[in-house]
Amino acid sequence: MKRFLLLLVCSIFAFGAYAQEDTIAEKKKITEKVAQTGSRDRIVIELGFDHWNQADGKTTDVKWFSRSYGIYFMYDIILKKSRFSLAPGLGFGISNVFTSKGLVEDSVSTYFTSFKDAYGVENDDVKKHKLVTSFIDVPVELRFRAKPNKHNKSFKFAVGFKAGVLFDSHTKLKYTTATRDKPRVEKVKNYADLNRFRYGPTFRIGYGAFNVFGFYNLGEVFKDGGPAGIHPYTVGFSINGL
């Protein structure tokens, strides 16, 4: 009887120790799983400042407050549980480039000229003039995280490439007249000589959810019928989440 009780007590202790080890192992698996699915930066929201690299340097002045917006969904694929990942995505971007000249499209070509020649409006009466282009983009990034298992508590760096197709464009002119108290607004849509595609390298660097990004368009704003040698580029801030 004593032997039986001793064996029973030993069995209970052994079972308890085994159960405790099993619980610890299970918790470790859960912790590792959660860590591996930490910050994936699936949603990327961008606010950028746009400018043009112009071959002749004087096609038109681009205002410093030209800006762009973008939102992208990125699918992050960790490369063999390393600090690196590959992230393809899909989204759209809208660019607002404010210029010092009007944009004219005739039967021969598209070109920038004075507001007087383009719209019959004196320069002093123009409040603003901008070219708005909207793209559906497909970006892809090679990402590095110093601490990939820390949710939004890690240094991040990414290089990539983005290609997009134009789905909408227009110019917007806002000006005053002697006969109206409120400014007038005129829009001209879908210039035929705008390049329908953009493509080029990207970079992103930051800490946690806040990053600095850049994009340089290797393509030109206009096709052969428009002003030549204009390459847009963007530098700005992004918020990455989920």
The 10s digit of each residue's pLDDT in 93-140 is 999 999 999 999 988 899 999 999 999 999 889 999 999 999 999 999
Predicted pLDDT at 237 = 97
Q: How many CA atoms lie within 13 A of 69 on its CB side?
A: 2
Do 206 and 158 belong to one domain?
yes
Tell me if 39 sits within 8 A of 152, measured CB to CB: yes
Do 4 and 66 belong to one domain?
no
User: For residues 17 and 203, what is the distance between their CA atoms, to the nearest angstrom?
Assistant: 52
pLDDT in tens, 50-98: 999 998 878 999 999 999 999 999 999 989 878 999 999 999 999 999 9
Confidence of residue 9 (pLDDT cuts 50, 70, 90): very low
Do 8 and 88 belong to one domain?
no
DSSP assignment of 53-100 equals EESSS-S--B-TT-EEEEEEEE--EESTTSSEEEEEEEEEEEEEEEBS
Tell me if 236 sits within 8 A of 213, measured CB to CB: yes
Tokens of 68: 């762009």
Do 4 and 74 belong to one domain?
no
Do 19 and 75 belong to one domain?
no
Predicted pLDDT at 1 = 54
Predicted pLDDT at 182 = 84
Do 88 and 7 belong to one domain?
no
Q: Is 69 exposed, middle or buried (0-12, 13-18, 19+ CB in 10 A)?
A: middle
Do 107 and 43 belong to one domain?
yes
Separation of CA 145 from chain center? 18
Region of 57 (left: φ > 0; alpha: ψ -120 to 50; beta: rest) is left
Q: Does the structure show a pLDDT above 60 at 2?
A: no
Do 92 and 12 belong to one domain?
no
Q: Does the structure show a pLDDT above 90 at 151?
A: no
Tell me if 114 sits within 8 A of 154, measured CB to CB: no
pLDDT in tens, 199-227: 999 999 999 899 999 999 999 999 998 99
Count of structural domains within the chain: 2
Predicted pLDDT at 27 = 45
Closest CA to 221 of 166, 161, 139: 166
Write out the residue range of the structural domain in which residue 2 sits: 1-36
pTM: 0.81
